[in-house]
Amino acid sequence: MAYSIDQDKCMRCGTCEIECPFHAVLISNIGTFSIDPDTCKSCGICLSVCPVDAPFREDGKKAADASAES
């Protein structure tokens, strides 16, 4: 299950794109950030580094719930 970015929260700081170890964060040509669901490993790092908690799990689980899956 991939993460997505809440576009209403995202302030486009770029931190998640820098910190994602799998290079799953994409930047559009209009400067919006999104996550490639085929590349995302649901590690939760983007959420932990985001200053406004914009990334979220598409299934609604908390990041802590995901740790048991990997």
- Does residue 5 contact residue 54 with C-beta atoms inside 8 Å? yes
Which one among 1, 8, 11, 56 touches ligand SF4, defined by CB under 6 A? 11
Which one among 26, 31, 50, 60 touches ligand SF4, defined by CB under 6 A? 50
Number of residues that bind ligand SF4 (CB under 6 A): 27
Tokens of 3: 């993460």
The alpha-helical segments, DSSP class H, found in 1-70 are 15-19, 45-49, 63-66
Q: Can residue 16 be called a binding residue for ligand SF4 (CB under 6 A)?
A: yes
| Residue 15 Cα to chain centre, angstroms | 10
Per CB under 6 A, residues contacting ligand SF4 are: 3, 5, 10-16, 20, 22, 24-25, 33, 35, 40-46, 49-50, 52, 54-55
